[in-house]
Structure 1
């Protein structure tokens, strides 16, 4: 006989209670159902990446684009100014980079943080169900109909 473990994650306790009662009504023994609460991240995410962790966003993309634009403008205007085009091009590049970096830092700190908070949908509970292979499809349908955030099945051969 092949045993199957079905894993699912839920957002709230009310859907979980409904799911467990529906599973019990469909013949799943209470001793084969495990609910494990998760501890969600409490600390704020870092804006700056470290050597060992990166979130895939960059803070210098706008800065580099503005540095290029400001250096061209600075070099063009520099022909008319006292220090010449090279110095004014470098000043323009530095200024553009700083402005772009500050813009990107502001958008990451303010807008992206608010968007992450509003997005919601955090897994709070993992539900693990041990069952026979012939019950797995029914259990999966019950989990999806009770708003599971994710479902996975693992088959293991029993003796």
Structure 2
């Protein structure tokens, strides 16, 4: 039976492997594969086939609403009237909100990703007897495995 699990690249992985060796699993039956980190930059703009779930227009829409209300209110006293000034306020508010969101995604979140230094995961494959599968699974879960799967 094979047990496949994923771990973050931490000391808990090393402890889990040493516990497995103490329980009688040979080194030849333990296979660890570190995954590579992403080398290319993430794309800011989504495509039709890929979306990261981050909206760039949420702040823009809120500011467009607020600026259009203020523009329409002030527009009663200005030459072009409330409709034109409301539309101008909406466009200015949207562009300002979009610029703010784009700045936070490109500059600030990039710095956070670099400072965080998240390492890639490690896939651990253990080949063991069926009798030891429960013990091996408990050891993996107790040492903070991200996920465990059994293959007979």
Are 1:104 and 2:101 matched, yes or no? yes
Superposed CA RMSD in Å reads: 2.2
Greater CA drift, 6-15 or 29-38:
6-15
- Give the drift of 1:104: 1.4
- Give the drift of 1:145: 3.7
Are 1:154 and 2:150 matched, yes or no? yes
Contact 1:70 1:93 in 2 (8 A): yes
Give the counterpart of 1:23 among 7, 20, 24.
20
Distance 1:94 1:152, change over 3 A: same
Task: Identify the residue that residue 50 of structure 1 maps to in structure 2.
Answer: 47
Distance 1:12 1:138, change over 3 A: same
- Give the drift of 1:117: 4.3
Runs of 4+ in structure 1 off by over 6 angstroms are none
SS of corresponding position for 1:89? helix
Q: Structure 2 length as normaliser, TM-score? A: 0.84
Contact 2:9 2:119 in 1 (8 A): no
Unpaired stretches in structure 2, ≥5 consecutive residues: none
Distance across 2 between alignment mates of 1:126 and 1:100: 42
Q: Structure 1 length as normaliser, TM-score? A: 0.81
Distance across 1 between alignment mates of 2:120 and 2:20: 20
Task: Identify the residue that residue 36 of structure 2 maps to in structure 1.
Answer: 39
SS of corresponding position for 1:127? strand
- Give the drift of 1:59: 0.7
The number of equivalent residue pairs is 152
Give the counterpart of 1:88 among 72, 85, 102.
85
Unpaired stretches in structure 1, ≥5 consecutive residues: none
